[in-house]
Structure 1
Amino acid sequence: MAEGDDIYTGDETVDIDKKPANKEKTGNWKACSFILVSECCERLAYYGMGANLVNYLAERLNQGNVAASNNVMNWSGACYFTPLIGGFVADAYLGRYWTIVIFSIIYFSGMTLLTLSSSIPELKPWCNGDVCHATQGQVAVFFVALYLIALGSGGIKPCVSSFGAD
């Protein structure tokens, strides 16, 4: 072993510049906080939104219970299928860190669009008493937001755990 080799991790781990990782500057709480915050936000958003999604689809978008449940299950299935895409992108092209960053931005964009679709009057279905009416455009914006969230989830789920393990 040459002089100065003991400052590196020794397990072929590299830093963001693809150089051998320095033991003193790699990982620790800086990386842990990034992992915990991204995973916590992703899970809270997913389960918090998913719990009310059938009700929103049935009441605000005038879908029957069967159609609303079917749409939620399709979206949930997409959330659990897209990690195959995210894992491939991370392994073949971007690496875990950049995959998490880029797909977190996609996830955040989907959550923002979903929030806007239920708050801005032009994007929100209008209601007359208990009956709501949504235009095709409003429904389209809502589902684009949902599937952006599914895509963003696909980049976070396969990468965060293994990133944390490293």
Structure 2
Amino acid sequence: MLEERERKEPVMNPFQKNESKETLFSPVSTEEVPPRPPSPPKKSSPKICGSSYPLSIAFIVVNEFCERFSYYGMKAVLTLYFLYFLHWNEDTSTSVYHAFSSLCYFTPILGAIIADSWLGKFKTIIYLSLVYVLGHVLKSLGAIPILGGNVVHTILSLVGLSLIALGTGGIKPCVAAFGGDQFEEEHAEERTRYFSVFYLSINAGSLISTFITPMLRGDVQCFGDDCYALAFGVPGLLMVIALGKYSSKGKKQSLMPSIG
């Protein structure tokens, strides 16, 4: 009898989960999920004369030409400015000149950090170009003889050189990469040609400025002496024009979305 009762009564598993009928027969919703709206087509950037080159790179190349013209044009007469305007000796002039050059090659590290971690390439170029222009303005004011004495000229010159070093070095690691970002992936050949034109503009700006800027200093007389204010002011003016074109076209055409 005991064996027959054990056969009839099933053995309960204490670890078996109790499944309710509600779980087995849960109602299914008959509502249809609304379809997602189609994503808008990707807007392509304007091209140069119907080619595959984005229009924005023309302003990047012009901006780089003017920036290199400003930098090398200012450096072409910088030592003469120290010797014959500020009346420094050769040792001091040489030391400040090389300290300025060294600072210009150190600040790209700072510009890269700002672009990658904070502002992105486009805003870094714009803001540090403003710093660059301010440095040129102070440098030009420091070359006006009637504006203060030798101490004022020295302070304005050193502050201006520091701002120029921060501006030119800060935008250096951003401009070339930002221009490359303007091309789509299928335009790799055009991107390669762009970099060739980009570096051509760098060399052209530096070469032309080393001829023109000394002529502005020596051939033009202002305040009864060599016109250092004009030699520093014209490169600064070119930088202002380039910055205005660059920023206005960048806002209108968005210069592609990859600015980080």
TM tier, shorter chain?
Answer: 0.7 to 0.9
Per the normalisation by structure 2, the TM-score is 0.50
Contact kept in structure 1, 2:141 and 2:156, CA below 8 Å: no
Aligned mate of 1:138, from 144, 147, 153:
153
- Find the aligned partners of 1:92 and 1:151 in 2 and give their Cα distance: 17
Corresponding residue of 1:93: 118
- Whether 2:168 is the aligned partner of 1:153: answer yes
Higher relative contact order (CA 8 A, sep 6+): 2
- Whether 2:93 is the aligned partner of 1:68: answer yes
Alpha-carbon shift at residue 25 of structure 1 (Å): 5.1
How many percent identity over aligned positions? 36
Alpha-carbon shift at residue 4 of structure 1 (Å): 5.4
- Whether 2:49 is the aligned partner of 1:28: answer no
Letter in 2 for 1:93: W
Q: What are the ranges of 5 or more consecutive residues in structure 1 without an aligned counterpart? A: 9-21, 126-133
Query: Considering only CA atoms, is the larger Rg found in Structure 1 or Structure 2?
Result: 2
Moved over 4 A (4+): 2-5
- Deviations 1:108-142, CA, capped at 9 Å, x for gaps: 1111111111126124x5xxxxxxxx22x321111
Aligned alpha-carbon RMSD (Å):
2.1
Alpha-carbon shift at residue 92 of structure 1 (Å): 0.3
Per the normalisation by structure 1, the TM-score is 0.77
- Find the aligned partners of 2:58 and 2:95 in 1 and give their Cα distance: 36
Contact kept in structure 1, 2:108 and 2:172, CA below 8 Å: yes
> Is 65-74 or 32-41 further displaced after alignment?
32-41
- Deviations 1:57-113, CA, capped at 9 Å, x for gaps: 011112111210111110011111101000100000000000000011100111111
Q: What are the ranges of 5 or more consecutive residues in structure 2 without an aligned counterpart? A: 1-36, 48-52, 182-260
